[in-house]
Amino acid sequence: MKDFLIAVKRTKWERDLLRYGSEQVLRKIYEIQNHAFERVFASHERQKASLARMREAGLNADFLFREDLAEAERIAAQYGL
């Protein structure tokens, strides 16, 4: 049984990639949006590194994306909630 349930938000890069379907299309969109690719992707990398550090910290936790919180009900049942 896990001690924590941690709900994380997908990065802007991940959300946009799901929405637009390809890195190539996304780069074109970001080029139009004030050359935002480097800024958005750097933020994505920082957020993923932070999440990796949390996972490596040895927390007895389940991680899930916020949009998957419906699954949290199933996980909560494991906690006896």
Predicted confidence band at 68 (pLDDT cuts at 50, 70, 90)?
A: confident
pLDDT > 90? residue 45: yes
- pLDDT above 80: residue 56: yes
Average pLDDT over residues 32-43: 92
Position 47 scores a pLDDT of: 96
Could you give the CA distance from residue 12 to residue 2 in angstroms, rounded to a whole number?
28
* pTM to 2 decimal places: 0.75
Return the pLDDT at 43.
Answer: 96
* The pLDDT of residue 13: 95
Q: State both tokens at 12.
A: 């802007």
Per-domain boundaries in the chain:
4-78
